[in-house]
C-alpha cells in the first residue's frame, strides 16, 4: 500500500519544546554563517600572506583534497556493499577497522615528529583495543548480521540517491572548510590554532546533522513499512524532515555524540571496576547511573519518534527508552552491534583517507604530513558515518516498531529468540559461582 502521508499521529510540540527547537535552529544557522565568513577570511588571508610565512599551498591542499575525494568514492562503495551483502559487511568492518587504524599509526610513526609519534602510539593502542573488542563481540556477529539483513532488506526508494547526494554534500563542505584550515595553518598563531579547533567542531556538528537528516528520513519510511505495512515516499519524508524537524535534528546532533561517549565510557569503567573493590565499584556505579540517565534523555533511537510523531528529541528519546524497558529489550539494545558497525566503518574509512593524504604529504613535504593525516582521518570518518546512516535507520526503525507491537505478524522470531538467548545466558551467569569467591572460601581457615 502506497501512502502520501504518515498514517501515524503527529504530536504537537509543547511551548518549551518549540522554543528549544527554534533556539538550536537559530544557533546552527548563526554558527554556519559565522564559520562561512571565517573560512573565507582565513582562506583569502592565507593566500595573500602565504609567501611571508613560507607556507606552500600547492603541497598542503592537494593531499587533503585528494583524501576527501577518495573518502567520498570509498564511502559510496561501502554503502553499496552494506546494501548488497550486509552480513559480510558487518564482519569485514570489525576486522578492517583495527587493521587500518594500526596502519594509520605506523604511517604516523614513520613521519617521526613529536606530534606524529604520540598520535601514532595512540592510534596503534586504539587498533589493539579495537581488535580485542572484535574478539569479545565475535559471538554476536551472527545475530547482528541477521538483524541488519532483515531490517535493511528492500531499502526505501531512492535511498541510494539520497545517500549519494549527502556524501557529495559532505565532501564539498569538508573541502570548503579545508580552505579555511589551510589559511589558518599558513599563519600559525595561537589565535589561528583556536580558529582551526572551532572549524573542526563546526565540521563535526554539520556532519552529524547531515547524517541525522538521513537517519530521521529513512527511519520514518521504514517504520511506516514495519508498523503499518505501507510504503511512504522517501521524497515526502525528506521534505517533512527539512521543513519541520530540523530543530530536533540540530539538538540530537549535539546531544547524541556527547551522551553516547559518556555512556560508553561508563560501561567501560564499570567493566574494569567490577565488584571486587567497594570504593571503585561505588564510584563506577554512580557514574554509570548518571550516564544511563543522560543516555535515556538523548539517544539515537529517539530519532525514529522524531520523524514519525514529530516529537521533540528529548521526549522522543525518553519515550523510546521506556518502551524498550517495557518490552524487555533493554539488554538486547545494550548489546546491539549496529552502532559499533557504523563506528568501525567510520574508523576504517577515516584511516584509509588518512593513509591517502598522509602518504602524499609525506612524499612531497614531510612537515605537513602529520596535520594532513589527522584532518584527512576526521573527514573520512564523518563521510563513512554518513554512508552508514541508512542501515542504522533501518535497524532503529525495526527495533522501535517491534517494541511498540511485539505481536505484529510482520515480525519474525529474530528478536524474541535473541531475547531468550540473552536471558538464558544471564541465568547461567547468576547460577554459576564466582571462581575467585570459591578460592577465597577454600583458602579461609576453618
40-89 pLDDT, tens digit each: 999 999 888 766 767 888 889 999 999 999 999 999 999 899 988 888 99
Quick one: three-class SS letters along the chain?
Answer: CEECCCCCCCCCCCHHHHHHHHHHHHHHHHHHHHHHHHHHHHHHHHHHHCCCCCCCHHHHHHHHHHHHHHHHHHHHHHHHHHHHCHHHHHHHHHHHHHHHHHHHHHHHHHHCCHHHHHHHHHHHHHHHHHHHHHHHCHHHHHHHHHHHHHHHCCCCCCHHHHHHHHHHHHHHHHHHHHHHHHHHHHHCCHHHHHHHHHHHHHHHHHHHHHHHHHHHHHHHHHHHHHHHCCEECHHHHHHHHHHHCHHHHHHHHHHHHHHHHHHHHHHHHHHHHCCCCHHHHHHHHHHHHHHHHHHHHCCCCHHHHHHHHCCCHHHHHHHHHHHHHHCCCHHHHHCCCHHHHHHHHHHHHHHHHHHHHHHHHHHHCHHHHHHHHHHHHHHHHHHHHHHCHHHHHHHHHHHHHHHHCCCCCCCCCHHHHHHHHHHHHHHHHHHCCCHHHHHHHHHCCC
Which pLDDT does position 446 carry in this prediction? 37
Residue 8: pLDDT band by 50, 70, 90 thresholds? very low
Which pLDDT does position 288 carry in this prediction? 80
Region 3-28: mean pLDDT is 72
Q: What number of other Cβ atoms are within 10 A of residue 193's Cβ?
A: 13
Rounded CA separation 346/388 (Å): 8
60-64, 180-184, 314-318, 429-433: least confidently modelled range: 429-433
Region 357-371: mean pLDDT is 92
243-257, 269-283, 391-405: least confidently modelled range: 269-283
Which pLDDT does position 345 carry in this prediction? 95
Which pLDDT does position 122 carry in this prediction? 94
Maximum CA extent, the chain: 85
Tens of pLDDT, residue by residue over 200-222, are 999 999 999 999 999 999 999 99
Half-sphere exposure of 363 toward its Cβ, with a 13 Å CA cutoff?
Answer: 8
Which pLDDT does position 7 carry in this prediction? 43
C-alpha cell at 438: 570459591
What number of residues does the chain have? Answer: 446
Domain edges within the chain: 33-40+54-405
Residue 365: pLDDT band by 50, 70, 90 thresholds? confident
Q: Provide, rounded to the nearest whole percent, the portion of the chain with pLDDT above 70.
A: 89
User: Cell numbers 508498523 label which residue?
Assistant: 227
Partners of residue 231 on adjacent β-strands:
2
What pTM does this model have? 0.90
Rounded CA separation 201/45 (Å): 21
Residue 283: pLDDT band by 50, 70, 90 thresholds? confident
Which pLDDT does position 199 carry in this prediction? 96
Rounded CA separation 411/185 (Å): 54
Is residue 240 within 8 Å of 308, Cβ to Cβ?
A: no
Which pLDDT does position 394 carry in this prediction? 94
User: When comparing pLDDT for 70 and 269, which is higher?
Assistant: 70
Is residue 195 within 8 Å of 42, Cβ to Cβ?
A: yes
Nearest by Cα to 3 from 268, 308, 215, 274? 308
Which pLDDT does position 125 carry in this prediction? 95
pLDDT of 358 strictly over 70? yes
Residue 443: pLDDT band by 50, 70, 90 thresholds? very low
Rounded CA separation 258/264 (Å): 10
C-alpha cell at 432: 554459576
Is residue 379 within 8 Å of 67, Cβ to Cβ?
A: yes
Which pLDDT does position 429 carry in this prediction? 64
User: Cell numbers 607556507 label which residue?
Assistant: 55
Rounded CA separation 412/17 (Å): 37
Is residue 398 within 8 Å of 150, Cβ to Cβ?
A: yes
Residue 276: pLDDT band by 50, 70, 90 thresholds? low
- Contacts (Cβ under 8 Å, ≥6 apart) of 299: 256, 259, 260, 317, 320, 321
Which pLDDT does position 28 carry in this prediction? 96
Rounded CA separation 440/435 (Å): 9
User: When comparing pLDDT for 377 and 285, which is higher?
Assistant: 377
129-143, 371-385, 411-425: least confidently modelled range: 411-425
Which pLDDT does position 244 carry in this prediction? 92
Q: Provide, rounded to the nearest whole percent, the portion of the chain with pLDDT above 90.
A: 62
Tens of pLDDT, residue by residue over 77-121, are 998 999 888 889 999 999 999 999 999 999 999 998 888 999 999
Rounded CA separation 13/16 (Å): 8
Amino acid at each position: 500500500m502506497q501512502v502520501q502521508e504518515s498514517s501515524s499521529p503527529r504530536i504537537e510540540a509543547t511551548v518549551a519544546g518549540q522554543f528549544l527547537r527554534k533556539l538550536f535552529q537559530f544557533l546552527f544557522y548563526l554558527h554556519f554563517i559565522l564559520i562561512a565568513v571565517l573560512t573565507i577570511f582565513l582562506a583569502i588571508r592565507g593566500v595573500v600572506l602565504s609567501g611571508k610565512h613560507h607556507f606552500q599551498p600547492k603541497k598542503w591542499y592537494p593531499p587533503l583534497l585528494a583524501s576527501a575525494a577518495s573518502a567520498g568514492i570509498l564511502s559510496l562503495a561501502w554503502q553499496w556493499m552494506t546494501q548488497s551483502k550486509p552480513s559480510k559487511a558487518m564482519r569485514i568492518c570489525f576486522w578492517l577497522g583495527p587493521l587500518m587504524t594500526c596502519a594509520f599509526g605506523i604511517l604516523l610513526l614513520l613521519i617521526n615528529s613529536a606530534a606524529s609519534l604520540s598520535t601514532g602510539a595512540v592510534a596503534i593502542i586504539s587498533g589493539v583495543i579495537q581488535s580485542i573488542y572484535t574478539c569479545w563481540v565475535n559471538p554476536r556477529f551472527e545475530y547482528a548480521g541477521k538483524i541488519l539483513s532483515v531490517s535493511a532488506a528492500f531499502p526505501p526508494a531512492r535511498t541510494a540517491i539520497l545517500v549519494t547526494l549527502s556524501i557529495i554534500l559532505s565532501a564539498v563542505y569538508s573541502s570548503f572548510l579545508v580552505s579555511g584550515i589551510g589559511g589558518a595553518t599558513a599563519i600559525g598563531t595561537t589565535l589561528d590554532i583556536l580558529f582551526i579547533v572551532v572549524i573542526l567542531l563546526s565540521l563535526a556538528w554539520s556532519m552529524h546533522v547531515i547524517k541525522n537528516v538521513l537517519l530521521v528520513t529513512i527511519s520514518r519510511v521504514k517504520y511506516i513499512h514495519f508498523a503499518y505495512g505501507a510504503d511512504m515516499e522517501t521524497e515526502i519524508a525528506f521534505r517533512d524532515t527539512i521543513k519541520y524537524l530540523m530543530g530536533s535534528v540540530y539538538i540530537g546532533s549535539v546531544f547524541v555524540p556527547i551522551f553516547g561517549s559518556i555512556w560508553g565510557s561508563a560501561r567501560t569503567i564499570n567493566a574494569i571496576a567490577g565488584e571486587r573493590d567497594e570504593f571503585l565499584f561505588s564510584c563506577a556505579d554512580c557514574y554509570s547511573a548518571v550516564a544511563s540517565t543522560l543516555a535515556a534523555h538523548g539517544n539515537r533511537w529517539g530519532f525514529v519518534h522524531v520523524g514519525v510523531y514529530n516529537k521533540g528529541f528529548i521526549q522522543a528519546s525518553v519515550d523510546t527508552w521506556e518502551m524498550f524497558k517495557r518490552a524487555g529489550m533493554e539488554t538486547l539494545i545494550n548489546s546491539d552491534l549496529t552502532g559499533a558497525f557504523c563506528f568501525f566503518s567510520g574508523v576504517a574509512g577515516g584511516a584509509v583517507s588518512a593513509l591517502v593524504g598522509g602518504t602524499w604529504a609525506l612524499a612531497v613535504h614531510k612537515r605537513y604530513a602529520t596535520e594532513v593525516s589527522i584532518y584527512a582521518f576526521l573527514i573520512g570518518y564523518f563521510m563513512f558515518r554518513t554512508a552508514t546512516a541508512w542501515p542504522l535507520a533501518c535497524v532503529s526503525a525495526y527495533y522501535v516498531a517491534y517494541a511498540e507491537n511485539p505481536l505484529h505478524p510482520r515480525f519474525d522470531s529474530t528478536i524474541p529468540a535473541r531475547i531468550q538467548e540473552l536471558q538464558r545466558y544471564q541465568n547461567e551467569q547468576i547460577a554459576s559461582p564466582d571462581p575467585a569467591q570459591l578460592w577465597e572460601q577454600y583458602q579461609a581457615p576453618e
